Structure 1
Amino acid sequence: MAGSVEVIVKELNLENVDPLPEDFDTTAIIKDPLPPLADEARESVKSGENGVVMKKEREIVLGRNVHTMCLEVTEPDADDEVTGEREAHMASVLARYRRSLLERTKHHLGYPYNLEFDYGALGQLQHFSINNLGDPFIESNYGVHSRQFEVGVLDWFARLWELEKNEYWGYITNCGTEGNLHGILVGREVFPDGILYASRDTHYSIFKAARMYRMECEKVNTLTSGEIDCVDFKAKLLCHQDKPAIINVNIGTTVKGAVDDLDLVIKTLEETGFSHDRFYIHCDGALFGLMMPFVKRAPKVSFKKPIGSVSVSGHKFVGCPMPCGVQITRLEHINALSRDVEYLASRDATIMGSRNGHAPIFLWYTLNRKGYKGFQKEVQKCLRNAHYLKGRLRDAGIGVMLNELSSTVVFERPHDEEFIRKWQLACQGNIAHVVVMPNVTVEKLDKFVFELIEKRATWYNNGTVQSPCVASELGKENCLCNLHG
């Protein structure tokens, strides 16, 4: 497979992206690399619980957060075309923005994006408007597409999830949310009167789908780990035995990185009287969908089981530089969505019309470079580093939790909003998390822990003030407050 990459690159005459001109000031940083608070008045310090000194949380105000730092678009002067000053100015702005990205990347820990990639060989393709209109398996009249790459990527994932070429349909989505929207839509089309079941720790896009499609939705309780509570799931199923079930199964929840037990979900459905022709399961594998196949103890996601669709993000563990994803479903289901589009000379069953034709090429390129063995090594590295971080935090007296099959390390929420923004931590209530991706090194984790320990000494007055209790969020065994530590 690696040889095929070299052949394609040679045939396309691809070259590395040209470096920025030497006279650009790349040391300067665009104003305020840390996003400012929506209301600067909220920067004032207040006294929190137990006398802890902390800054107020950032307020989300529609239309105001980014306007405080946006780059204005100005009309060009008449002589700009001659002088070229405008081009030089824009290039300088972009150079400073690049420097800001480098700075922000150094402190990126809270969101599940793999920032370790090298796609220099694909730079020349950015000169083309590559658009994968319509059905990936039917070529349209628009000739500047990348369907040959897209179908190659889909075949790879179909093999991973054990579905034959003639039995699946799928496409490269523009993001993980689109994959979820499509998976739930297929379920709704198969069972128009079905009820959607999703755990409370499910990604917000599933509940967005319920609102968009006007579906009845049952929120199922979760365990402390974040996994779906199948006892509560069974109770809710028993209340609606007269209607088909559409279930979202999480292969890694958003906040705690919990993996729902697919086999237990199926068993619960069967025990409640739902035959395989009365339920549809969508597996949201946005982050861990590509990691789980390489974890021995993980529940296997396979179309040999009675599932309807699987989605995974391409910009997370895979490491694609633009948001994208993969959505796979059974071919037998897709006819309910498919419609002929004369304008395209194709059929369409996707959520979006135009689709990014560059994304499949980036995915194809990295799949060829890494392969199954490469991903397996990266999974092992992520899990190893996640356990390392958990150990460092616990040794420092910080309440922390790590699910067995996850690289998402969950811990007590830092009190300082500026610290949260600096490290780009994702927070919910009293907890925050770090998602250990292939680009997250031990050195980066050490720097984060060192700074966190320093800050906590100030927040808790060197131990004289009690640290918060997170037993309800992380479990008593993972809380290190005075009561449970």
Structure 2
Amino acid sequence: MDHVPSLVVDNGSVNEEVKINKEKEKRLIVLGRNIHTMCLEVTEPDVDDEVTGDREAYMAGVLARYKRALTERTKHHLGYPYNLDFDYGALSQLQHFSINNLGDPFIESNYGVHSRQFEVGVLDWFARLWELEKNEYWGYITNCGTEGNLHGILIGREVFPEGILYASRESHYSVFKAARMYRMECVKIDTLWSGEIDCDDFKAKLLQNQDKPAIINVNIGKFLHHCFSLSIPFSLPLTLFILTLTTIAGTTVKGAVDDLDLVIKKLEEAGFSQDRFYIHCDGALFGLMMPFVKRAPKVTFKKPIGSVSVSGHKFVGCPMPCGVQITRLNYVNALSRDVEYLASRDATIMGSRNGHAPIFLWYTLNRKGYRGFQKEVQKCLRNAHYFKDRLVEAGIGAMLNELSSTVVFERPHDEEFVRRWQLACKGNIAHVVVMPNITIEKLNEFLNELLEKRATWFQDGKDQPYCISSDVGEKNCLCALHK
């Protein structure tokens, strides 16, 4: 998306004017309310002990209202990929402890209030899922999915400091954040209407920089049609090329997954041999869903990948943002430093890390296991197809990428409606991410309210549904021009 340098401050919100499609139509991005207009001020307690009870009652009242607000907002949560269906009541007994897993997860530090035994147990579970032996991997529980991307790209940058970062235009914003943070040159690759990377454009831009190292970010969320396996001698030194794949994350808005095999084929056609690249897989959401779908491509370290990251607060469901990052042990040495202060080693992005998160993840993995996640994945995909079909039956343009639970449809005309249902929007499209907590009843409630609103938005004929053909293709658009 090309940004237009125009900012407008209006009623506490910042509106940014952007170009949203090929015709250079302009739309104002309406940001949320300024929190300073609604913040809860911190006031100093009175020195008089007699008012302590009143202060405690005041704070209890604030928290009670906040809980009611959270309950209401959770009921109308559709646009962001968070699983809000969890119960960690058994872990409330641990809230009195400051649990910090600072340093290397596999080396105990002098700080003894940690949860490394839970963290390594979780890492072992994911290493088995992705078929990497215990003595061949290194990883840690990150504070979010973005940190996993930052870490994967940082490994690439450390191996090839002069490398160029290549990324699909529809990659997650954290990829471009990494480019800015690490002062890396970044080349954006065009995409197809589905959101997949345009591999012809990818190859063309590789050929323009054959003499320079490359770090490549690729989003993958669709069934891979090309089925050839690659075997790479990992003992050989990496000499020129790093491929950073956002393999199973799917594009942020459309949930598309690029064809990994086709990407590798284009690399070979551009003259890059199999021993000259590093692959990071950003599995943010779909990384933990696709292993449980029979027809989906398999994420495994038996393929030539260097690292995988997923978000823990998305499909798994966790009350705090977190993630899992797994890489090959021999790659992490470029980042590792011994720290005397900790009596440990550190190769993480953040020094201190939330020690509660591994316990929450460990608890869920033990409760659900592989079979539990498989059932939830099947339910999400089934409900996503149901929702997409209902939208189309109602005359609303919609698209659902194969093996994805992200349903893309025409953007609602009312920003209040968008905020009420917490939809994620870009240009003329919005999406609903069907998570385990999204039931058929909730989808029907949303659809019924959307249809009622549409009846008022378009009743006088002045406004028409948005054309989404440039975003999802003409066959998926049901505007007046493409019906």
**Shorter-chain TM-score tier:** 0.7 to 0.9
Once the two structures are aligned, what percentage of the paired residues are identical?
A: 84
Shift of 1:59: 3.7
Output the CA distance in 1 between the equivalents of 2:270 and 2:151.
27
The residue that corresponds to 1:473 in the other structure is 471
Instruction: Specify the code of the residue in structure 2 equivalent to 1:167.
Output: E
Distance in 1, matches of 2:274 and 2:305, equals: 9
The equivalent residue for 1:411 is: 409
- Name which of 6, 12, 31 aligns with 1:60: 31
**How many correspondences in the alignment?**
435
Q: CA deviation at 1:370?
A: 0.4
Partner of 2:100: 131
1:288 Cα offset (Å):
0.5
| Residue range with higher mean Cα deviation, 454-463 or 204-213 | 454-463
Give the stretch that moved more between structures: 85-94 or 370-379: 85-94
Hey, what's the Cα distance between the residues in 2 that align with 1:118 and 1:177?
A: 25
Q: In 2, distance between residues paired with 1:41 and 1:181? A: 32
Q: Measure, in 1, the Cα distance between the counterparts of 2:465 and 2:113.
A: 58
Is the 1:281–1:307 Cα contact (8 Å) retained in structure 2?
yes
1:207 is aligned to 176
Q: Using a 3 Å threshold, how does the CA distance of structure 1 residues 80 and 456 change in structure 2: closer, same or farther?
A: farther
The Cα shift of 1:267 comes to 2.0
What's the counterpart of residue 174 of structure 1?
143
Cα distance in structure 2, aligned partners of 1:409 and 1:389:
8
Q: Which range is displaced more, 79-88 or 160-169?
A: 79-88
Equivalence map 1:206-285=2 (5 Å): 206-250=175-219, 251=248, 252-285=250-283
- Contact 1:38–1:58 at 8 Å: present in 2 too? no
The residue that corresponds to 2:46 in the other structure is 77
Deviation at 1:213, TM superposition (A): 0.7
Could you report, residue by residue, the CA deviation over 1:42-90 in whole angstroms, capped at 9, with x for unpaired residues? Answer: 8xxxxxxxxxxxxx966438xx711111011111112246642111110
CA distance in 1, matches of 2:81, 2:52: 44
What is the Cα deviation at residue 92 of structure 1?
Answer: 1.1
Residue 325 of structure 2 aligns with which residue?
A: 327
* Residue of structure 2 in register with 1:428 after alignment: 426
Tell me which of 63, 69, 75 is aligned to 1:106.
Answer: 75
* Equivalent position of 2:233 in the other structure: none
**What's the counterpart of residue 13 of structure 1?**
none
Query: Does the C-alpha gap of structure 1 residues 38 and 362 become closer, same or farther in structure 2, counting only changes over 3 Å?
Result: farther
For the residue of structure 2 that corresponds to 1:84, the secondary structure is helix
- Whole-angstrom distance in 2 between the partners of 1:367 and 1:41: 43
Quote the residue 2:154 is aligned against.
Answer: 185
Deviates more, 1:98-107 or 1:244-253: 244-253
CA distance in 1, matches of 2:277, 2:430: 35
Alignment correspondent of 2:315: 317
Is the Cα contact below 8 Å between 1:38 and 1:65 reproduced in 2? no
Contact residue 38 and residue 60 of structure 1 kept, 8 A: no
Q: Using the alignment, how far apart are the partners of 2:321 and 2:426 within structure 1?
A: 23
Distance (whole Å) between structure 2 residues aligned to residue 59 and residue 397 of structure 1: 27
**Structure 1 unmatched runs, 5+:** 1-36, 43-55
Task: Indicate the larger mover: 284-293 or 453-462.
Answer: 453-462
- State whether structure 2 residue 144 is matched by structure 1 residue 146: no
3-state SS, counterpart of residue 254 of structure 1? coil
Report if aligned partners of 1:309, 1:328 keep a CA contact under 8 Å in 2: yes
- One-letter amino acid of the counterpart of residue 271, structure 1: E
Structure 2 unaligned spans of 5+: 1-7, 14-26, 220-247
C-alpha change, 1:81 and 1:191, in structure 2 (3 Å) is farther
Contact 2:12 2:34 in 1 (8 A): no
Contact kept, 8 Å, 1:178 with 1:351, in 2: the verdict is yes
* Residue in structure 2 matching 1:383, options 362, 368, 381: 381
Contact 1:398–1:411, Cα closer than 8 Å, also in 2 = yes
Counterpart of 1:158 (choices 127, 135, 141) is: 127
Match of 1:369 among 349, 367, 370: 367
For the residue of structure 2 that corresponds to 1:384, the secondary structure is helix
Amino acid at match of 1:189: E
Q: Superposed, which structure 2 residues align to 1:333-344 within 5 Å?
A: 333-344=331-342
TM-score by length of 2: 0.87
- Paired letter, 2:361: L
Rounded Cα–Cα distance in structure 2 between residues aligned with 1:420 and 1:80: 46
**Counterpart residue type for residue 218 of structure 1:** V
How far apart are the structure 1 equivalents of 2:62 and 2:50?
A: 18
Contact 1:411 1:431 (8 Å CA) reproduced: yes
CA distance in 2: counterparts of 1:225 and 1:479, whole angstroms:
13
Give the CA deviation at 1:41: 8.8
> What corresponds to 2:243 in structure 1?
none
Counterparts of 1:122 and 1:41 in 2: how far apart (Å)? 39
Return the alpha-carbon distance in structure 2 between the equivalents of residues 185 and 425 of structure 1: 32
Q: Residue deviations 1:167-195, cap 9 Å, x none?
A: 11100000001010000001111222222
Equivalent position of 2:229 in the other structure: none
CA offsets 1:82-105 (integer angstroms, 9 cap, x no match): 642111110111011000000001
TM-score, normalised with respect to structure 1 = 0.87
- 2:61 maps to which residue? 92
2:165–2:184: 8 Å Cα contact kept in structure 1?
Answer: yes
Q: Which amino acid aligns with 1:85?
A: D
* Alpha carbons 1:38, 1:59 under 8 Å: kept: no
Does the 8 Å CA contact 1:262/1:301 hold for their aligned counterparts? no
SS of equivalent to 1:102: helix
Paired residue for 1:195, among 134, 140, 164? 164
Distance in 2 (alpha carbons) for counterparts of 1:245 and 1:295: 32
